[in-house]
Amino acid sequence: MFWKKKEAAPEGLDPVLVEALRTVDDPELHQDLVTLGMVKAASLADGAAAITIELTTPACPLKDRIRADIEAAVQEAVPGTSVSIEWTAQVRSAPRAPGKGAGMPSLAEVANIVLVASGKGGVGKSTVATNLAVALARMGAKVGLLDADIYGPSIPTMFGIHEGLASSDGKTIDPHWLGGLKLVSMGFLIPPEKAMIWRGPMLTSAVIQFLRDVRWGELDYLVVDLPPGTGDVQLTFAQQVPVTGAVVVSTPQPVALADVVRANAMFDSVDIPILGLVENMAYFVCDGCDKRHAIFDTGGARRAAEQFDMQFLAELPIDTAVRAAGDMGLPITAAEPESEAGRAYVALARKVAGRVSVVNAEAAARVAAAAPSPQAGRRLPIIS
């Protein structure tokens, strides 16, 4: 006769609360909070439960749902108990493939590298990358933003920074710090009037230097603003860097489908997961009538996401405030976070953070499934 042995509560946690929390799943990771190691404290005394939950990102998009599920589970286990929940966060990373990131010790403390890409230029990719990074940082994550568009760097203008980069130790490059965000761009190293007339190998060398020689330090997310298209810079990241996933930016027109096809084919061929698709310039809200207008058609990117089985992450509006804020060196998520555009970018950041957690959990599960069992090859004793 076989039966499942009841698991003991982790040391220092109230067993009644632990059993209650085993019934609460993380809505995105689809495992219970105890198994995921997210329950860091759980005490029960005098009709009050005090619980500490460690989220997989400070930008967790479903924290309110987790809270409600915890409160319901505790009430079912111990009716009439008051529940207080303290939230912490520890951003996790996936196991790294052998060779990825080798020779780049500056990336050792970077948990996740998130690429922001597009099949062609002019879709607002840099605006999306900038506001994604700012939104994540404002939520409490440790974030870096790398402008890898060597020919057309936009980050200096969007942050209003034009000073060069320095080195405090004479060996490595110090990124600019702004509001808790670390910034690096070729635009910090060359005058804005100078054209970059470089061949592919020089582009690759510049990107590798930014990855290898910048003192990134401890980061939860390194957001990378890629150049448009599918060229040398994209290939460099695919071959040499442990990339967590990519966010693809497109526009609503049906012609956007062709751009998504190229981006999807590129990332699929180099085994980089696509975190999801963003439809930028999706609509315009009229000041006079407060009505949405689909200036550039509607739904092209959403249909592309459905066709390629991608997550559809966001519809972002056309808003003159976004353009004005970027031109003034203050992204909309910092200048007007409560505006419609600001809220849309914050929602996008939460979804991207959630997708990163899911992709990492899936990668860890694949590695665990592929690992040989410690029982493999052992002979069982003969019982007579």
Assess whether 181 and 34 both reside in one domain: no
Counting residues of the chain whose pLDDT is more than 70, the rounded percentage is 87
pLDDT, the chain, mean: 85
d(CA 296, CA 304) in angstroms, rounded, equals 16
Pairing of strands 82-89, 181-185: unpaired
Give the confidence band of 2 by pLDDT, cuts at 50, 70, 90: very low
Give the pLDDT confidence of 300-326 residue by residue, as tens digits.
Answer: 777 888 888 889 999 888 888 888 888
d(CA 358, CA 14) in angstroms, rounded, equals 28
Q: Does 362 reside within a domain? A: no
Q: Does the pLDDT of residue 158 top 60, yes or no?
A: yes
Q: Does 23 reside within a domain? A: yes
Q: Per-residue pLDDT averaged across 142-154, rounded?
A: 89
Beta-ladder partners of 223: 114, 145
Give the confidence band of 297 by pLDDT, cuts at 50, 70, 90: low
Assess whether 174 and 225 both reside in one domain: yes
For residue 231, the model assigns a pLDDT of: 75
Q: Does the pLDDT of residue 377 top 60, yes or no?
A: no
Q: Round to the nearest angstrom and report the end-to-end CA distance of the chain.
A: 17
Q: Does 306 reside within a domain? A: yes
Assess whether 329 and 197 both reside in one domain: yes
Assess whether 81 and 152 both reside in one domain: no
Assess whether 67 and 210 both reside in one domain: no
For residue 99, the model assigns a pLDDT of: 65
Give 138's Cβ-side CA count (13 Å radius): 21
Q: Does 382 reside within a domain? A: no
Range of the domain at 63: 15-89
Give the pLDDT confidence of 323-354 residue by residue, as tens digits.
Answer: 888 888 889 999 899 988 899 999 999 999 99
Among candidates 338, 318, 292, 353, which has minimal Cα distance to 133?
Answer: 353
Give the pLDDT confidence of 163-176 residue by residue, as tens digits.
Answer: 889 998 888 999 99
123 Cβ contact partners less than 8 Å away, ≥ 6 residues apart: 228, 249, 250, 251, 256, 259, 280, 281
Q: How far, CA to CA in Å, does 168 sit from each of 122, 164, 215, 219, 301?
A: 37, 13, 10, 19, 45
Helix, strand, or coil here: 334? helix
Give the pLDDT confidence of 21-78 residue by residue, as tens digits.
Answer: 999 999 999 999 999 999 999 999 999 999 999 999 999 999 999 999 999 999 999 9
Q: Does 138 reside within a domain? A: yes
Give 238's Cβ-side CA count (13 Å radius): 20
CATH number for the domain including 133? 3.40.50.300
Number of domains in the chain: 2
Assess whether 83 and 125 both reside in one domain: no
Assess whether 222 and 139 both reside in one domain: yes
For residue 121, the model assigns a pLDDT of: 79
For residue 374, the model assigns a pLDDT of: 56
Counting residues of the chain whose pLDDT is more than 90, the rounded percentage is 46
Q: Does the pLDDT of residue 104 top 60, yes or no?
A: yes
Assess whether 125 and 207 both reside in one domain: yes
Give the confidence band of 4 by pLDDT, cuts at 50, 70, 90: very low
Assess whether 68 and 111 both reside in one domain: no
Which pTM was predicted?
0.88
116 Cβ contact partners less than 8 Å away, ≥ 6 residues apart: 125, 128, 129, 132, 223, 224, 225, 226, 246, 247, 249
Give the pLDDT confidence of 188-209 residue by residue, as tens digits.
Answer: 887 666 666 666 677 778 888 8
Give the confidence band of 96 by pLDDT, cuts at 50, 70, 90: confident
Assess whether 72 and 109 both reside in one domain: no
Q: Does 364 reside within a domain? A: no
**CA max distance for the chain:** 88
Give the confidence band of 19 by pLDDT, cuts at 50, 70, 90: very high
Q: Does 301 reside within a domain? A: yes
- The size of the chain, in residues, is 384
CATH number for the domain including 47? 3.30.300.130
Q: Does the pLDDT of residue 142 top 70, yes or no?
A: yes
Assess whether 344 and 281 both reside in one domain: yes
d(CA 271, CA 234) in angstroms, rounded, equals 12
Assess whether 23 and 110 both reside in one domain: no
